[in-house]
């Protein structure tokens, strides 16, 4: 299965929030949402946990967007450290 897009993640959160009672999910809610939307249980669970932790941390609206955009690609290195190491006498 491919990674979920941000609108799909938002749809998962909206569906879970509709079914939650005072911020708590009744037993079987994640599985029902999984069947309804066609995603895996682990994906729905991870999205919900991340959302609830961000709400507890005080982030208004929660955090539900994909982190792939920030964490993909080549990692930046500080080139000044490399230059210093190369110029230092052995």
- Domains in the chain (CATH in brackets) are 1-63 (1.10.10)
**pLDDT for the residue 31:** 92
**Predicted TM-score (pTM) of this structure:** 0.68
CA–CA separation, 85 vs 20, rounded Å?
A: 56
**pLDDT for the residue 26:** 92
**pLDDT for the residue 1:** 52
DSSP code of residue 88: S
**Residues of the chain where predicted confidence (pLDDT) is lower than 70:** 1, 64, 67, 70
Q: Return the structure tokens found at 65.
A: 């967007």
């Amino acid at each position: 299965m491919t990674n979920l897009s941000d609108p799909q993640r938002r749809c998962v959160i909206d569906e879970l929030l509709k079914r939650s009672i005072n911020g708590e999910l009744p037993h079987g809610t994640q599985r029902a949402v999984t069947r309804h939307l066609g995603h895996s249980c682990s994906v729905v669970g991870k999205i919900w946990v991340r959302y609830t932790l961000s709400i507890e941390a005080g982030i208004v609206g929660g955090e539900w967007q994909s982190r792939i955009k920030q964490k993909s690609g080549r990692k930046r290195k500080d080139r000044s450290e490399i230059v210093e190491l190369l110029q230092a006498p052995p």
